[in-house]
Structure 1
Amino acid sequence: MTSSSRVRLAIVAAAVTVGLTGCGVAGTSFHPGVAADIDGDTVTTGHVDELVYDYCEAVRDQLSQDGSAVPLGYLRSGVVGQLTLAAAAEQLAEEQGVEPTQEYASALAELRAQTAALTEAQRDAVLEINGSGVYVQAVELAVGRKLLSEEGQRSPDDQTAGQRGVDELNAWLEEHDVEINPEYGIEIVDGQPVDADTQLAVGVGDTARTAALQEPDQQYAKSLPASQRCG
């Protein structure tokens, strides 16, 4: 891919404040293989691992050119958070009887054009991960427009409608059972995945503290074995 069409590592660049994970989940209520449960819909750990692997392969050249690296645990946590929000938004859209706005279809079309040189698995991973954030915003906008119209506002601007949709999604998250496996160390707060400090082991020492930083430390990331980092 050319420099103008390279896939952007959206999970890392976005404000997804997660830390490196990897602890077990003994003693929790999660069934083996479940990364998140969104009111009965599940995201599996297998699907997350497959997405992360294919996504990492998709952006490997970009990371090599940039001279950067990302701990795989950091990336897994970001993916779980994004997929959890997307699943919640999908259920909200079904309840409200709306479809995501045209911005979502346009974003996917642009991503498909940018990833034409990738394998099918890599392209699908980029579309699902990078597209999830756009999907959530597009659903929020559609829901907001509908609700404001029902409340008598016939032509609300996008900012007003989007915020109304954000509020509705947050309310949905509060009213429904949404759980993320503590292994990933995140939770959804105000519609965003944030570091929840939910891991079942407490890191000690400089290396462990570095692993738990909100942004991936490059010196630490590059010190990891190849099997534990992207780039």
Structure 2
Amino acid sequence: MSKTRLMTAATTALAGLLLTGCGSASPGVAVKVGDEEISTRHVDEVTANYCTAVGELESAVPMGFVRQYVVQLLTLRSQASQIADDYGVEPGTTYANDVAQRKGTASTQPEEVQDDYVELASTSAYAQDILDQVGRIVLEDQGVTDPTAEQTTQAGIDVFNQWPNTHTLEVDPRFGLRTVDGVLSPVDTSTSVAVGDTAKAGQATEPDPAFAETLPVNHRCG
């Protein structure tokens, strides 16, 4: 699996959902999303399990990039879950089918690895399912009958976009994520200045497979 394929789900899931209001999370907290705090320890554990589940990659990826990916998906899933609670909806069969497929992919892995992989890999389907259901509710409340799929999706996106205006979203700067044009995106949030080639490679916003191969095995995926 290439880095591009590794990150596809995050790109798809996050592309239309604007996450605003990022700040700095409390010590030991990777992300604070509304009423939920996601610990740095949990992010590290999920990252390690996800890397184990995806197996050999076509090229190595620095673990920092996988960690960013994990934070993005955990943040999106938490937001979607809280919105689902607000509107009293639960994911339907589309999401259930996606989960079943993910479970099959990771069926040979230890239980904790399977659980974390399925949670992350199914996040895009989960968020889309909740988004569409919420969109239909909003349009129904507005008196819109027989809406198109595009109208439903856009109404759901609007809810997701507006949610951070009244809810906390704080990300620990160490994960190199910041709101760019409203989207939680990888950026250089380091306060230090990279001087050598190795240091510069470590702060890149796109992974360098050659650099990744020089890292210890516990600092790279693949």
Deviates more, 1:190-199 or 1:85-94: 190-199
Structure 2 counterpart of 1:184: 175
* Offset of residue 143 of structure 1: 0.8
Which among 151, 157, 164 is matched to residue 155 of structure 2? Answer: 164
> Number of residue pairs matched?
210
Instruction: Measure the CA separation in 2 of the matches of 1:218 and 1:41.
Output: 34
* Equivalent in the alignment of 1:100: 91
Q: Separation in 1 of the partners of 2:30 and 2:84?
A: 22
TM-score (norm 1): 0.81
Question: Residue in 2 aligned with 1:142?
Answer: 133
Shift of 1:214: 3.1
**Mean Cα deviation higher: 28-37 or 163-172:** 28-37
Cα deviation, 1:164-200, whole Å, max 9, x if unaligned, reads 1111101002221110111111034566430243333
Deviations 1:24-48 (A, max 9, x none): xxxx964332100112310011111
Give the corresponding residue for 1:47.
42
TM-score by length of 2: 0.84
Change (3 A) 1:145 1:51: same
Match for residue 115 of structure 1 among 106, 112, 134 = 106
What is the aligned partner in structure 2 of residue 36 from structure 1? Answer: 31
* Contact 1:170–1:190, Cα closer than 8 Å, also in 2: no
Matched position secondary structure for 2:144: coil
1:198 maps onto 2:212 in alignment: no
Hey, what's the Cα distance between the residues in 2 that align with 1:170 and 1:53?
30
Consecutive unaligned residues in structure 2, runs of 5 or more: 12-22
Moved over 3 A (4+): 8-11, 13-16, 28-31, 188-192
Counterpart AA for 1:131? S
**What code does the residue aligned with 1:203 have?**
A
- The one-letter code of the counterpart of 1:79 is V
Show CA shifts across 1:144-165 (max 9, x none): 1111111122322323211211
Classify 1:190/1:167 alpha carbon distance in 2 versus 1 (closer, same or farther; 3 Å): farther
The reply on whether 1:58 has 2:53 as its aligned counterpart is: yes
| Unmatched segments (≥5 aa) in structure 1 | 1-5, 17-27
Identity %: 37
Q: Distance in 2 between matches of 1:190 and 1:159?
A: 22
Distance apart, 1:89 and its partner CA = 1.3
Equivalent position of 1:19 in the other structure: none
Distance 2:133 2:36 in 1: 22
RMSD: 2.4
Residue pair 1:70, 1:216 contacting (<8 A) in 2 also: yes
Is 1:174 aligned to 2:169, yes or no?
Answer: no
Residue 50 to residue 71, structure 1, CA distance change in 2 (3 Å) = same
Distance in 1 separating the partners of 2:182 and 2:124: 11
Q: Which moved more, 1:32-41 or 1:95-104?
A: 95-104
